[in-house]
């Protein structure tokens, strides 16, 4: 998301730069060890709360893409929900069977379904020792892997990371807890159904603004000028 933050028009960037962060989490980034895993379910939320506390900030606007957008939704519905003042959701992941999700995320992801179900059952009875096992594998595009940052791409998620990165099973309750938000999605998104976001989220929360951006795919929204402009305009409200 750093690329998008620094692509904002100069006026908006100057206004926001003193309070902008792009945290590296256990899912993506250059300095991860291990990659694709965290220590416990809920670590992302606690880490974000610690970051804002360290900075002396009581609440902030959170921007997230794909699973990152799902994390923003989860954060709003959890113990640290008061930290979310506004939200920008970019093609957010809600749940594997949400109306917004294409089968197998359009071929982007392969879920180890039997393992996922087994671990979920174990967690219900309090057994968490196997939560570091992989439950989701990604079919990353070759053009992404061929870039300078391709070597840092995360190819799989553990159970505890995958669970803590997404809204809760009753994702509608997390959506309902969102404050005012902007949702952006490319019309040609390969992983999600762009036209299903507004009916799905508005059934739980009337505070959203929705923009479907023509001719853009799932990763395109991260740097497309029209997406950057939409976010900058929203943040200037």
Q: The domain that contains 214 carries what CATH number?
A: 3.40.50.1820
Q: Is the pLDDT of residue 18 over 50?
A: no
Q: Is residue 200 part of a domain?
A: yes
Q: Would the CA dihedral through 3, 9, 14, 18 be positive or negative?
A: negative
Q: Is residue 152 part of a domain?
A: no
Per-residue tokens: 187: 């019309």
For the sheet with 60-65, list strands across it. Answer: 60-65, 84-90, 181-186, 208-213
Q: Is the pLDDT of residue 98 over 90?
A: yes
Task: State pTM to two decimals.
Answer: 0.87
Q: Is the pLDDT of residue 26 over 70?
A: no
Q: Is residue 79 part of a domain?
A: yes
Provide mean pLDDT across the span 208-222.
95
CA 114 to chain centre: 24
Q: Which tens digit of pLDDT belongs to each residue from 109-138?
A: 888 999 999 999 999 999 999 999 999 988
Q: Is residue 109 part of a domain?
A: no
Provide the pLDDT for residue 196.
98
Total domain count for the chain?
Answer: 1
What is the domain range of residue 184? Answer: 2-102+166-235
**Which helix (DSSP H) or strand (DSSP E) does residue 182 occupy?**
strand 181-186
CA-derived radius of gyration, the chain: 17
Output 33 or 99, whichever has higher pLDDT: 99
Provide the pLDDT for residue 15.
47
Q: Is residue 206 part of a domain?
A: yes
Provide mean pLDDT across the span 212-216.
97
Residue 2: pLDDT band with limits 50, 70, 90: very low
Which range among 28-37, 48-57, 74-83 has the greatest average pLDDT? 74-83
- Measured CA to CA, the distance from residue 9 to residue 106 in angstroms comes to 33
Q: Is residue 130 part of a domain?
A: no
């Amino acid at each position: 998301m750093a690329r998008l933050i620094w692509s904002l028009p100069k006026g908006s960037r100057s206004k926001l730069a003193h309070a902008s962060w792009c945290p590296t989490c256990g899912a993506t980034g250059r300095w991860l060890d291990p990659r694709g895993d965290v220590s416990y379910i809920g670590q992302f939320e606690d880490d974000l709360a610690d970051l804002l506390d360290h900075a002396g900030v009581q609440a902030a606007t959170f921007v997230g893409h794909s699973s990152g957008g799902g994390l923003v939704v989860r954060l709003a519905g959890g113990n640290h929900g008061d930290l979310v003042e506004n939200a920008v959701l970019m093609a957010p992941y809600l749940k594997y069977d949400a109306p917004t999700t294409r089968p197998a995320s359009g071929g982007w992801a392969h879920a180890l379904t039997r393992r996922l179900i087994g671990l979920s059952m174990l967690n219900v009875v309090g057994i968490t020792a196997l939560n570091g096992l992989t439950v989701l594998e990604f079919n990353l595009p070759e053009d992404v892997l061929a870039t300078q940052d391709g070597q840092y791409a995360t190819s799989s998620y553990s159970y505890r990371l995958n669970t803590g990165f997404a809204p809760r099973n009753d994702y509608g309750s997390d959506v309902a807890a969102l404050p005012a938000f902007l949702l952006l999605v490319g019309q040609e998104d390969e992983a999600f159904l762009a036209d299903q976001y507004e009916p799905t989220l508005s059934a739980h929360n009337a505070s959203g603004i929705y923009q479907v951006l023509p001719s853009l795919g799932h990763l395109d929204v991260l740097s497309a000028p029209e997406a950057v402009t939409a976010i900058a305009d929203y943040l200037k409200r």
